[in-house]
């Protein structure tokens, strides 16, 4: 019996999309538990899990031990990655 690769591809894409959505929901829930944002706000602001990861990384720097100058240096060294997150947050809160 031959394998229908088109059907297999469509099924795999469906599973991947479901997994990504479940991951996004879990990430949003975790972020909302440590911020003043709701799950829905996190998902609205950061619909991609990669964006939520960047937000988490930025939050880890801000809340880490160390002086302000060290935190600023770490943020600046990752500014390209954090740019979208920072812009999104500033648009939300201004």
Domain boundaries, given as residue ranges, for the chain: 5-93
Distance CA(84)–CA(92), nearest Å, equals 12
Please give the pLDDT value at position 1: 63
How far apart CA 23 and CA 30 sit, in angstroms, is 11
Q: Which two tokens stand for residue 83?
A: 């740019």
50-92 pLDDT tens trace: 888 888 889 889 888 889 999 999 999 999 989 999 999 888 8
What would the pLDDT profile of 3-58 be if each residue is shown by its tens digit? 676 776 778 777 767 777 777 777 777 777 777 888 888 888 888 878 888 888 89
Q: Are 53 and 46 in contact, with CB atoms under 8 Å apart?
A: no
8 A C-beta contact, residue 55 and residue 46: yes
Residues shown for the chain: 94
């Amino acid at each position: 019996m031959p394998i229908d690769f088109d059907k297999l591809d469509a099924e795999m894409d469906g599973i991947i999309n479901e997994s990504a959505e479940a991951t996004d929901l879990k990430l949003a829930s975790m972020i909302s538990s440590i911020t003043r944002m709701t799950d829905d706000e996190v998902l609205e602001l950061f619909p991609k899990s990669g964006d939520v990861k960047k937000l988490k990384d930025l939050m880890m720097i801000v809340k880490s031990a160390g002086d302000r100058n060290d935190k600023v240096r770490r943020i600046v060294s990752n500014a390209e990655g954090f740019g979208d997150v920072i812009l999104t947050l500033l648009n939300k809160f201004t």
